[in-house]
Amino acid sequence: MTLKSSFPPVVDARTRLLVLGSLPGEVSLARAQYYAHPRNHFWSLMEAVTGRALVGAPYEERLARLLAAGVGLWDVIGQARRTGSLDARIRDPSANALREFVETLPSLRAIGFNGQKSSDIGRRQLGAAAAVELITLPSSSPANAAVPLARKQQAWMTLRRFLDPA
């Protein structure tokens, strides 16, 4: 099993909503980009949530548009061993220091966990006394094909109330 590492966080002082994944998949790691798998619904979901054009935009522009909307990205796992991309194959995870990190975000109002694995690990770290709203979302991963895109989008749209208008 290969040791995999998360990317640095994408946040700034405007971050009102932090979306946390588990650990980047193989395609994302190869491209050094969050949610790079072409069948991952993340960018289309966030386009609907933010009202900003994300799908098809260059990667750096997508990140800038998320930040402008008040959205930050990171992962709950800093490093882990995993063969392939599935969360079920994660072994020996080392968590990112979420509690300390969240304290550095003065405008943060909510954390959206992209999938159950992210939620399980993130909620354990943040504890019941989290000062922001914690929201578990259906995973945007292509491995989560059992949940139709329309149902994913309905759940993800609940994040809209935490963002700055487009």
Catalytic sites, residue numbers: 40
Residue type, 53: A
> In a 3-state reduction of DSSP, which class is residue 42?
helix
Q: How many CB atoms lie within 10 A of CB 59?
A: 15
User: How far is Cα 30 from Cα 97, in angstroms, rounded to an integer?
Assistant: 24
State the Cα–Cα distance between residues 108 and 6, nearest whole angstrom. 21
What's the half-sphere exposure (Cβ side, CA atoms, 13 Å) at 11?
23
Number of helical (H) and strand (E) elements in the chain, helices listed first: 6, 7
Nearest one of 155, 83, 146 to 119, comparing CA atoms: 155
